[in-house]
């Protein structure tokens, strides 16, 4: 059974798979000795998948290939390599990594820099651009921890999403210019930087190779034009381009959407357009305020929406409001209506069975299988999930395809019930809050109810030989 795409989809159902922000990509690729010499990864897609989706606050790192001169983030470097397998070639730092020279310039943020080359009249990036840079990084000890020139490929930085120090450094350069930067940890790292990355002041040598302008900042950020009406959430919408379609999406339909969101400072909060990509998924997977806007659109239509702070996705609420979002509906595919909530969704009936951890469940239809999955096995299932008040928060039924995942990768209570099932079983399970998604803000906080049909089991591969087996 092919598990790759669906395992990712299932991680969303499990509430796992936090967004991978561009700042993490930069840190992992450029500064982590634990991941040295090079590492980059792509953020997850929505579409029922794990990771960054609309409203996560992470720009989508997909884009044109190398023919454009800009590589997608996933192409920026080879796969992570353990330090004992490969070491970055050592390059002497051009200046003392700790103490800048007397003629270096200090900015208000604490960034210190000294230009090595200046090119009058060359193009200068804006705060929402994507730039290609050659970058060499040194620890305070003088150890080289990364050098893009060794790979022969510059690094793409999406300025809206990199740490403040990198954005400030790039904005100080014109195309072709090179400078040395002493970057304090407070502006060189973010809260989501991998724990393996040491929080040191680092020395960087950066050359700006090229830039690609980001989406144009709307001129009407501050207020919507006269005549726009607010919906119940306070969102105001203006049509930028009329569509050619007739049908309007329902919450369970699948859509392809291009979008960019700006804050009141004109800085991009999130965008699928930085790399020319689009978001794919069910309307209901978008933040409520934007899902409401999408249900009023037709294919081909592009709108601009002004979201008051209270209507913005949680990941955006720290940014100056109102948030302004451009949405363009590219495709619409009708989905299957979601299943209705069970009549007993509020509480398990008397006589329900109990899993070893205490989740209640009852068998709706008995299967014919004989094997029960273990925690390391991969299962294929159809499922729907509700909160006790009957609100559906996830389902494979409207997607029209089952999910595949490792049993131990989902909520503990659900995993416990799955291990009591055989192929063909269909069960309804009442998962207590402690066995559901405690501490995961993207998932319901409280008890949940799953209706699950087990379609197939892929046994975990046998464990390899341990130490002393005689095998190399």
- Could you read off the pLDDT of 285-297 as tens digits, one per residue? 899 899 999 999 9
- Reply yes or no on whether the pLDDT at 56 is more than 70: no
**64: closest CA among 55, 73, 54, 51?**
73
**0.75 exceeded by pTM:** no
pLDDT of the residue at 48: 32
Mean pLDDT of 154-183: 96
pLDDT of the residue at 464: 53
Q: Most confidently modeled of 25-39, 80-94, 252-266?
A: 252-266
- Reply yes or no on whether the pLDDT at 51 is more than 60: no
pLDDT of the residue at 83: 42
pLDDT of the residue at 15: 37
Mean pLDDT of 39-64: 37
**338: closest CA among 389, 296, 382?**
382
- Could you read off the pLDDT of 366-382 as tens digits, one per residue? 999 999 999 999 999 99
Mean pLDDT of 3-8: 40
Lowest mean pLDDT among 6-20, 248-262, 321-335, 423-437: 6-20
- Reply yes or no on whether the pLDDT at 53 is more than 80: no
- Reply yes or no on whether the pLDDT at 10 is more than 90: no
């Amino acid at each position: 059974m092919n598990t790759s795409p669906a395992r990712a989809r299932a991680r969303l159902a499990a509430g796992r798979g936090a967004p991978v922000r561009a700042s993490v990509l930069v840190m992992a690729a450029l500064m982590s000795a634990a991941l040295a010499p090079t590492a980059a990864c792509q953020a997850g897609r929505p579409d029922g998948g794990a990771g960054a989706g609309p409203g996560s606050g992470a720009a989508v790192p997909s884009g044109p290939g190398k023919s454009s001169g800009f590589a997608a983030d996933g192409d920026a470097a080879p796969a992570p390599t353990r330090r004992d397998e490969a070491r970055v070639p050592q390059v002497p730092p051009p200046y003392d990594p700790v103490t800048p020279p007397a003629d270096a310039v200090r900015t208000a943020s604490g960034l210190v820099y000294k230009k090595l080359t200046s090119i009058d009249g060359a193009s200068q990036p804006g705060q929402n651009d994507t730039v290609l840079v050659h970058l060499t990084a040194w620890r305070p000890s003088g150890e080289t921890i990364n050098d893009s020139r060794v790979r022969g490929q510059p690094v793409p930085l999406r300025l809206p999403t990199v740490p403040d120090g990198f954005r400030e450094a790039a904005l100080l350069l014109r195309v072709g210019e090179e400078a040395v930067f002493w970057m304090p940890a407070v502006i060189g790292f973010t809260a989501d930087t991998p724990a393996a990355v040491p929080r040191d002041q680092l020395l960087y040598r950066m050359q700006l190779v090229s830039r690609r302008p980001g989406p144009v900042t709307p001129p009407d950020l501050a207020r919507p034009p006269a005549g726009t009406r607010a919906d119940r959430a306070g969102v105001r919408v203006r049509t930028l381009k009329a569509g050619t379609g007739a049908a309007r999406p329902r919450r369970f339909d699948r859509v392809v959407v291009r979008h960019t969101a700006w804050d009141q400072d004109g800085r991009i909060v999130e965008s699928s357009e930085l790399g020319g990509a689009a978001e794919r998924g069910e309307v209901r997977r978008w933040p409520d305020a934007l899902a409401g806007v999408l249900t009023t659109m037709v294919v081909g239509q592009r709108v601009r929406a002004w979201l008051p702070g209270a209507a913005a996705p949680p990941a955006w609420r720290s940014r100056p409001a109102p948030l302004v979002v451009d949405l363009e509906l590219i495709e619409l595919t009708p989905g299957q209506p979601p299943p209705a909530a069970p009549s007993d969704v509020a509480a398990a009936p008397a006589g329900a069975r109990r899993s070893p951890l205490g989740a209640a469940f009852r068998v709706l239809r008995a299967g014919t299988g004989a094997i029960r999955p273990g925690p390391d096995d991969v299962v294929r299932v159809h499922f729907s999930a509700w909160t006790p008040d009957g609100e559906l928060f996830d389902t494979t039924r409207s997607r029209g395809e089952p999910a595949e995942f490792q049993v131990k990768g989902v909520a503990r209570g659900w995993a416990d019930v799955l291990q009591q099932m055989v192929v063909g079983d269909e069960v309804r399970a009442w998962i207590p809050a402690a066995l559901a998604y405690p501490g995961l803000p993207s998932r319901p906080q409280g008890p949940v109810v799953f209706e699950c049909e087990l379609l197939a089991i892929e046994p975990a591969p046998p464990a390899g030989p341990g130490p002393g087996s005689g095998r190399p």
